[in-house]
């Protein structure tokens, strides 16, 4: 059975990988002590004070005790120093505290928390998204390992569709390998048909739920995309591009052009894409699309330094404006 350290801090901007690390640690903890040995701290309950109180509290639990704490990227330096640092240095026996920080923008685990974990002899691991410029070459290498040949343009298209998460890139590469078989040549068309459609549908479902004022579905889809490792800035770019494309098509149809006219104005390579936009435009009204464009433009300004709020908060506000 794997050994557990007293304290872990796992942080970084690769949220998918951090989720995997959290799931692995929880599985190890359940194997060691069962579900009753795990204590979860999430949302407003995940504070330095709450963790310190839990560590100091008497417990009658049998076996190893594991405290899993999410959201430490929101913690304040002073709270860590005054409420938790000394407690971590005097950890009770057979106890583990695992701290998870899904970092983005200015939301980062404070230096004082790093210092407190080090002082307690704990383990710190950073999970960083790979540099975007390296992902196409990495994808080609992984494709070769899976027995297919992904050309340069195809690898660029794959990264544009899927994003920077190598976890998601590998999942889509495995799907392509299963679809096309060993030795297959995979290019832009194969990627867009197999992967682009899935990635774009995920984003459009979010936009569509907001336009339809289905707030429950909207927030469920947003949470799923964030859990997959999508960052707010990439989601914003994808959503804004998609809504503008659909709005342009909708305005052309409103002006009297036929779907055949719209399709005839783009190259053959873009026929599948423009067909999707026509379907979406015919299912949505112009006023809602224009409202969405305005809300996403405001979100773009906010995330480029125009707001002190966290990106997730600004995205939530934008979605609520679209769904108004």
Q: What is the pLDDT of residues 18-64, one digit of tens each?
A: 988 998 899 888 888 888 889 999 999 999 999 999 998 866 566 78
Crossing angle of helices 152-162 and 166-180, rounded to 10°: 130
CA distances from 179 to 154, 184, 186, 191 (A): 15, 9, 10, 11
CA atoms within 13 A on the CB side of 46: 19
Domains contained in the chain, CATH given: 7-126 (3.40.50.300), 132-186 (1.10.8.60), 198-322 (1.20.272.10)
How many Å apart are CA 40 and CA 27, to the nearest integer? 13
The pLDDT of residue 53 is 94
The pLDDT of residue 61 is 60
Find out whether 171 and 143 touch, Cβ atoms under 8 Å.
Answer: no
The pLDDT of residue 289 is 92
Q: Per-residue pLDDT for the chain (324 aa), expressed as one digit of tens each?
A: 457 889 999 999 888 889 889 988 998 888 888 888 899 999 999 999 999 999 988 665 667 899 999 999 999 999 999 999 999 999 888 899 999 999 988 899 999 999 999 999 999 999 987 777 888 999 999 999 999 999 998 898 888 777 777 878 888 899 899 988 999 999 988 887 777 655 566 787 888 889 888 999 999 999 888 887 777 887 888 888 889 989 999 999 999 999 999 999 987 657 777 888 898 899 888 999 999 999 999 998 888 888 888 888 999 999 999 998
Which region, left, alpha or beta, applies to residue 131 given φ > 0 means left and ψ of -120 to 50 means alpha? beta
Burial letters for 11-47: b for 16+ Cβ neighbours within 10 Å, e otherwise?
bbbbbbbbbebbeebbebbeebbeeebbbebeeeebb
- pTM, whole model, 2 decimals? 0.52
> Strands, E, within 165-312: which ranges?
185-186
- Residue 195, Cβ neighbours under 10 Å: how many? 25
DSSP-derived letter for residue 283 is: T
The pLDDT of residue 110 is 96
């Amino acid at each position: 059975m794997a050994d557990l350290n007293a304290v872990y801090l796992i942080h970084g901007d690769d949220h998918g990988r951090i989720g995997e690390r959290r799931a692995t640690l929880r599985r190890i903890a359940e194997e060691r002590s069962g579900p009753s040995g795990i204590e979860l701290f999430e949302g407003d309950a995940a504070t330095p004070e709450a963790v310190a109180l839990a560590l100091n509290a008497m417990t009658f639990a049998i076996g190893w005790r594991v405290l899993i704490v999410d959201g430490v990227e929101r913690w304040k330096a002073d709270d860590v120093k005054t409420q938790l640092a000394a407690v971590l240095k005097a950890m009770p026996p057979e106890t583990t505290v695992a701290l998870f920080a899904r970092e983005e923008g200015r939301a980062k685990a404070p230096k004082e928390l790093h210092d407190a974990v080090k002082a307690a002899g704990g383990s710190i691991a950073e999970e960083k998204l790979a540099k975007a410029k390296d992902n196409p070459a990495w994808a080609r290498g992984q494709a070769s390992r899976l027995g297919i040949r992904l050309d340069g343009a195809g690898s660029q298209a794959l990264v544009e569709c899927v994003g920077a998460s190598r976890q998601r890139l590998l999942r889509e590469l495995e799907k392509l390998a299963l679809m096309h078989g060993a030795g297959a040549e995979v290019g832009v068309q194969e990627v867009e048909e197999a992967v682009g459609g899935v990635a774009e549908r995920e984003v459009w479902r979010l936009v569509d739920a907001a336009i339809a004022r289905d707030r429950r579905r909207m927030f469920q889809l947003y949470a799923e995309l964030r859990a997959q490792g999508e960052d707010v800035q990439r989601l914003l770019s994808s959503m804004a591009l998609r809504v503008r494309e659909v709005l342009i098509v909708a305005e052309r149809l409103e002006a009297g052009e036929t779907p055949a006219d719209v399709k005839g104005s783009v190259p053959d390579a873009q026929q599948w894409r423009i067909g999707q936009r026509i379907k979406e435009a015919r299912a949505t009204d112009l006023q809602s699309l224009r409202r969405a464009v305005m809300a996403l433009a405001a979100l773009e300004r906010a995330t480029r330094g125009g707001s002190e709020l966290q990106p997730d908060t600004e995205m939530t506000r934008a979605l609520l404006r679209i769904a108004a």
